[in-house]
Amino acid sequence: MRVFVLTGAGISAESGLGTFRDPGGIWERFDPMKLATPEAFASDPEQVHAFYNLRRRDLLAAEPNEGHRALARLEAALTASGGSLYLCTQNIDDLHERAGSRVVHHMHGELLKARCTGCGAVVEWRGELDVATACPGCGRRGGMRPDVVWFGEMPVGLDEAAMAIETSDLFVSIGTSGSVYPAAGFVDIAREAGVRTAELNLEPSDNAWAFDERRYGPAGEVVPAFVESLLAGRG
Ligand code: BV8
C-alpha cells in the first residue's frame, strides 16, 4: 500500500509547540505579515530573528509525541511490506525525525537549518541567529536567515509531492487547518486522482468536506489508532 501523509502544526501541539490559528495560537499573538515574509525580514531582521530564536529554543526543549511515533511505525511497516509512506510536513520542527521517521519532506523548510542569502549555503543551526551571524561558507554577515518558507515564497518539492499524491492509495491529512496554500490544495489533487482521503484532526478543518473518512481527537490518540487499524487491514 502507498500512503501519502500531510502533517501540520496540530501533530506537534501535544509536544508543547504552538499551533498557528487555534485560540491563543502563534498568529493570534504575532502578525505573520510582520514576521513570516521576506519583506518583514528585509525591514526588521532583528524582530524576525527574535521570533525564530524563541521558536528554536522551544523546539530544542520539546519531545515527539505518540502521533509522531505512530507515523514512524507506519513508515517502517509499509516499507517492510513493499509499500511506501511519503511523509510531507508543513512543520519546520524535527519531531518526526526524532520520533524515528527516516524520510521527511519539509515543504515549508526547517527551523534547525539556516541559509545564507549571499552564497546560498544551508547549514544545520541549533543556536541563535542574528544580523551579526557570519555565514560559515562565505563569511558574510547580515545575510543569514532561517531556512524556512515564508508567505509569498515557493514551498519545497511541490511537483514531487503532487506526483506522490497521484500515485498513492491513500491520502491522510493530520493536524492542519487546511488554510494555507498550496498545502491545503493537496486533498483536491488526491480527489481528482481518485485517491481515498482521510482527515485526522482535533476538529473539522476548513476543507473537512473534501475527505472520505474523518476522525477527530488529539493526534496522540487518533493517529496511533488509525495506524493500528490501517496495518491490521481494517483502515
Ligand atoms: C506560495 C513556515 C506562491 C514558517 C509557513 C493560493 C495558492 C497559492 C498561494 C496562496 C493562495 N492563497 C493565498 C496564498 C498565499 C499564502 C497563503 O496560503 N495564505 C493563507 C494565509 C491564505 N501561501 C503562501 O504564501 C505560500 N507560498 O503560495 O507561494 C508562489 C508562486 C510563485 C512564486 C513564488 C511563490 C507559502 C506558505 C508557507 C508559509 N509558511 N510556515 C513558519 O512556520 O514560521 S505557514 C504555517 O501555516 C506553517 O507552515 C503551518 O504549518 C501552516 C499551516 O498551518 P497549520 O499547520 O494547518 O496550523 P494551524 O494552526 O492553522 O492549524 C492547526 C490544526 O491542528 C487545527 O486545525 C487544529 O484544530 C489542529 N490541532 C490542534 N491541536 C491538535 C490538533 N490536531 C490534532 N491534535 C491536536 N492536539
* Same domain, yes or no: 68 and 114: no
The average confidence (pLDDT) of the chain is 96
* Same domain, yes or no: 211 and 130: no
Would you state the cell numbers that stand for residue 208, as one nine-digit string? 473537512
**pLDDT at residue 234 is higher than 80:** no
Whether residue 4 contacts residue 71, with contact meaning beta carbons closer than 8 Å, is answered with: no
| Nearest CA, atom 30, ligand 1 | 154
Q: Order of strands across the sheet with 109-116?
A: 122-124, 109-116, 144-148
Active site residues: 108
Confidence of residue 21 (pLDDT cuts 50, 70, 90): confident
Domain count, the chain: 2
**CA dihedral over 231, 220, 79, 85, signed as positive or negative:** positive
Q: Which of 93, 120, 148 is the last residue of a domain?
A: 148
CA 151 / ligand 1 centre spacing (Å): 8
Would you state the cell numbers that stand for residue 134, as one nine-digit string? 557570519
* Same domain, yes or no: 55 and 121: yes
Q: What is the pLDDT of residue 118?
A: 95
User: Measured between alpha carbons, how far is residue 148 from residues 68, 142, 196, 226 in Å?
Assistant: 21, 17, 30, 30
- Tens-digit pLDDT profile for residues 38-89: 999 999 999 999 999 999 999 999 999 999 999 999 999 999 999 999 999 9
- Alpha-carbon distance of 145 to 135, in angstroms, equals 10
Task: Report the share of the chain in percent with pLDDT over 70.
Answer: 99
The string of DSSP letters for 71-107 reads HHHHHHHHHHTT-EEEEEES--S-HHHHHT-S-EEET
**pLDDT at residue 128 is higher than 80:** yes
Q: Which of 33, 55, 181, 201 to mutate to test the pocket of ligand 1 (most atoms within 8 A of CB)?
A: 181
Average pLDDT over residues 203-227: 97
Give the structural domain span for 130: 18-61+110-148
Any ligand 1 atom below 6 A from CB of 187: no
Ligand 1 atom having least distance to the Cα of 19: 60
Geometric angle at alpha carbon 47, from 42 and 53, rounded to 5°: 115
Would you state the cell numbers that stand for residue 144, as one nine-digit string? 543569514
Would you state the cell numbers that stand for residue 58, as one nine-digit string? 522551544
* Same domain, yes or no: 48 and 85: no
* Same domain, yes or no: 45 and 136: yes
Any ligand 1 atom below 6 A from CB of 92: yes
CB atoms under 10 Å from CB of 63, counted, come to: 11
* Same domain, yes or no: 34 and 120: yes
**CA dihedral over 98, 17, 7, 33, signed as positive or negative:** negative
First to last CA, the chain: 11
* Same domain, yes or no: 159 and 89: yes
Any ligand 1 atom below 6 A from CB of 179: yes
Q: Which of 88, 119, 148 is the last residue of a domain?
A: 148
Separation of CA 77 from chain center = 22
Instruction: Look up the CATH number of the domain holding residue 183.
Output: 3.40.50.1220
Strands 122-124 and 109-116, sheet pairing: antiparallel
3-state secondary structure of 7: strand
